[in-house]
Structure 1
């Protein structure tokens, strides 16, 4: 369906509207809510009483929400406009926060995580497009930086904020969500003032799934790059689901702010990796990213074996950097290789594989932790994901999927 773009900084006559930096700030707030519970899972375990397996399942429900939105509403903001979708994402994020504020057991935890996944699925595409489309001429590169930093930086800020508030402020299981809820309300007010950058010219019609079909001519590129994304997102899933338990149980560090900072470090590394992909080049970024991911996982395994926090932080930064390099290079490769009439579906398929990686492996860690213990389960995870990343890295080094 055809659409036209409104002016970059359009709005009512004589009124200055917020620009791409305001949209990036909204993006950051929204993504922070997705990882807010991460350092608090140990408190929920003590209060409600459940196993490490349930922790990982609660976390994985988030990915179910994201994948569901990707499958059902792939291009919805292109047809109904950016602002309605952004407001819907913020409404879902607020509802998720309220679930955690009112939490009285597992049902509301599951519902809160599902709502946050739905919000993330809506927010990621619409917010990225808004940031890029609001950038004035000559600042598209800065806008791309802002969108990347808002996405991964927001995911990293969530556990950092929750850990600091839970450790040093009252109401550890309520205050982080109340603070986020206030930020969401402010963000909704900002969204209402943002210029609309996508306007439909006809009726929106019902949501249309983008069609998760990978054309035959893309499958070679898709297989290698999506497996690299799977491995990288598995690392992110490990840190956002069970790293605080590693810190508390294996490394015997009870400070929740430290747990939040450890999780923040993996997203910091990912942001840096994505930002430097352009300088390194997409052809080299994929094998280098896989190599750094292997090194990062080796450091994580070393931290568990030696019970050393410094190695865990180093593994988070190194592995996150490799994940960022490989993910952006893989996304670029898939986007360039896919025919125009199948590009949306191919990219959506790529994200589905990536978000499967953030959920299924960590559920496996939770299951293994029941009978192996969390430390040994983490070591098995690190070895398996490192082996996958190494195989993909060697393959793309011999057969590069894309030329710069």
Structure 2
């Protein structure tokens, strides 16, 4: 039985803000990893492992929290998620060793993963007839939150006291305000909740295998870039220009995230597959351009190349996700999206850890070019596969007619 959905006009905007801040929290430590490494003397692989445990925890959360919120409601799951994010921020404030960082990132992975899934579902609960626009807005705030937080954290670290404490304290205050808002929010999921709890099983029907391969390869290439951008790249960019502060590294990655938000806002109105193909090819080219930019050590060249990466990353990720969404059978939506995010988070974690290990054996600057070229090749393969899939789709009616 379906009841009338409660109206709370501010709820939609609050949920978007929650997604933005939660994703911002996920990227907040990026400008600080170099400081932790200097203070505690750990190698680049430690930085990437700390980042990877976040991705693994987020994946686990993504697979289970949607079902839990279908059964028990969005509001209680979001409250628990915000509390986990606050716990993670508290652990960062108190951190005096790598073990504290690992614990904080696990808490953040669980909390942010839940927010991404459950807040997205709650947004659709509030505006069920406006799914496409809601999806575009979610993609924009996803990247916008990361961009604003990265730049804000870098500024606080450079200009304020207690660089490894104050940024998290500011985020605690913001998240606490959002927790109050979630507590005041009416439950948006008022439909019948007599559903069985389950873990979304990764599975892809044979009928959409080609579409899935194209979308999955594109997002895997894109998210492998995201992993390195949020772990090693701030340090690499800062060292390339001889910067002694974290501001440049944070600002460069923030500009990339902001450009991604802009391209998703604009590109979301374009056809999905051509957008993804252009995004894949553009990402490949811009990744290669980052190599000479870093080698030359020119700040504006690095900033420009990184911004181009963000612009095309947004098109690649947004187009790939929309393309897959258009072809997923309704009965298999949970299974297919589960497989999609398993590969996405795996691509974020595994190449990042491998890059961290390689940077320990050689140096971050030495492994940077081979890594960027390898990901550029993967992006190009995704684009070629998308073109092939397009040709097959065009040929299908002809074959049927004959």
The two structures have a TM-score, normalised by structure 1, of 0.91
Return structure 1 stretches of 4+ with deviation > 6 angstroms. none
- Alignment of 1:345 with 2:335, yes or no, is yes
Report deviation, 1:77.
1.9
CA distance in 2, matches of 1:202, 1:356: 31
Q: Which residue of 2 aligns with 1:179?
A: 170
Report deviation, 1:144.
4.1
Q: Which residue of 2 aligns with 1:67?
A: 59
Q: Which residue of 1 aligns with 2:154?
A: 163
Out of 253, 271, 283, the position equivalent to 2:243 is 253
Q: Which residue of 2 aligns with 1:276?
A: 266
Question: Does structure 2 conserve the Cα–Cα contact (< 8 Å) formed by 1:131 and 1:146?
Answer: no
> Which ranges in structure 1 are unaligned for 5 or more consecutive residues?
11-16
Structure 2 SS opposite 1:101: helix
- Alignment of 1:96 with 2:96, yes or no, is no
Question: Does structure 2 conserve the Cα–Cα contact (< 8 Å) formed by 1:23 and 1:194?
Answer: no
CA distance in 2, matches of 1:100, 1:256: 18
Question: Does structure 1 conserve the Cα–Cα contact (< 8 Å) formed by 2:240 and 2:295?
Answer: no
Report deviation, 1:402.
7.0
More deviation in 380-389 or 349-358? 349-358
Structure 2 SS opposite 1:75: helix
Alignment of 1:301-320 (within 5 A): 301-320=291-310
Structure richer in helix, relative to its length: 2
Report deviation, 1:172.
0.4
Structure 2 SS opposite 1:199: coil
- Number of aligned residues: 393
Report deviation, 1:273.
2.3
Report deviation, 1:372.
2.3
More deviation in 194-203 or 268-277? 194-203
Question: Does structure 1 conserve the Cα–Cα contact (< 8 Å) formed by 2:260 and 2:313?
Answer: yes
Report deviation, 1:257.
2.1
> Which ranges in structure 2 are unaligned for 5 or more consecutive residues?
395-402
Question: Does structure 2 conserve the Cα–Cα contact (< 8 Å) formed by 1:213 and 1:346?
Answer: yes
Report deviation, 1:30.
1.8
Q: Which residue of 1 aligns with 2:285?
A: 295
Question: Does structure 2 conserve the Cα–Cα contact (< 8 Å) formed by 1:80 and 1:199?
Answer: no
Question: Does structure 2 conserve the Cα–Cα contact (< 8 Å) formed by 1:6 and 1:199?
Answer: yes
Out of 7, 21, 25, the position equivalent to 1:33 is 25
Structure 1 SS opposite 2:265: helix
- Alignment of 1:208 with 2:198, yes or no, is yes
Question: Does structure 1 conserve the Cα–Cα contact (< 8 Å) formed by 2:255 and 2:303?
Answer: yes
Report deviation, 1:202.
4.9
Deviations 1:312-357 (A, max 9, x none): 2222222222221122222222222222111111012111111112
Question: Does structure 2 conserve the Cα–Cα contact (< 8 Å) formed by 1:247 and 1:254?
Answer: no
Deviations 1:164-221 (A, max 9, x none): 111100110001111111111100111122232113535566x410111111112211
Deviations 1:22-41 (A, max 9, x none): 22122222221111111001
CA distance in 2, matches of 1:322, 1:365: 22
Report deviation, 1:135.
4.4
- Alignment of 1:113 with 2:111, yes or no, is no
Report deviation, 1:92.
0.6
Structure 2 SS opposite 1:291: helix
Q: CA RMSD in A?
A: 2.1
